[in-house]
Amino acid sequence: MELTRRQTLIAGIGAAAAMVLPIRAFAQDAPMVGELAEFTGGAEPGTGDITLTAPEIAENGNTVPIEVSAPGAAEIRVYALGNPVPGVAAFTFGPLAASQAASTRIRLATTQEVLAVAKLQDGSFIADRKEVKVTIGGCGG
């Protein structure tokens, strides 16, 4: 059977789509699941008294101001789900911390969801997430 130009093109596009789609989905989710599971021990974080403050639209992905606050938390971790390395920061609060809150500036590669997970004193986990639209990515691309 001889391939026409049209058939070749369609096959090519199909193959390219098949390659790209699962890899993208995989890259977004797989490392995330691993890192989060490592922190929570596989437990699914619930909702609770945790607040993640982040801008809805960040013009520059290189410095996006965020603030996390979770009264009573022992540790708060922040993940950027669409970054090449999803882990962003882990805050551990000592006996002299006046509030379980901190602000910092982070890098975001693309428009994505930012996730904050807090480990409470009793060992349970709560989470909050925010979608941030990024105009210019912050990974040197």
Task: Give dist(CA 82, CA 50) in Å, integer.
Answer: 21
> Which of 96, 95, 114 lies closest to 104, judged by CA?
114
Segment near another protein (CB under 8 A); pick from 22-30, 48-56, 89-97, 118-126: 89-97
| Candidate list 2, 4, 42, 84; residue touching another protein; CB under 8 A | 84
- Token code pair at residue 117: 């997970």
Residue numbers 42-81 binding another protein by CB under 8 A: 62-64, 80
Coil, strand or helix: which one is 67? strand
Interface pick for another protein out of 10, 25, 90, 136 (rule CB under 8 A):
90
Q: If binding is defined by CB under 8 A, does position 107 make contact with another protein?
A: yes
Collapse the DSSP code of 54 into the 3-class scheme (helix H, G, I; strand E, B; otherwise coil) and give the result: coil
The DSSP bridge partners found for residue 63 are none
| Calpha distance 52→78 (Å, rounded) | 9
Residue 105 near another protein by CB under 8 A: yes
Q: Which of 40, 89, 110, 133 binds another protein (CB under 8 A)?
A: 89
Among 21, 85, 123, 129, binds another protein (CB under 8 A): 85
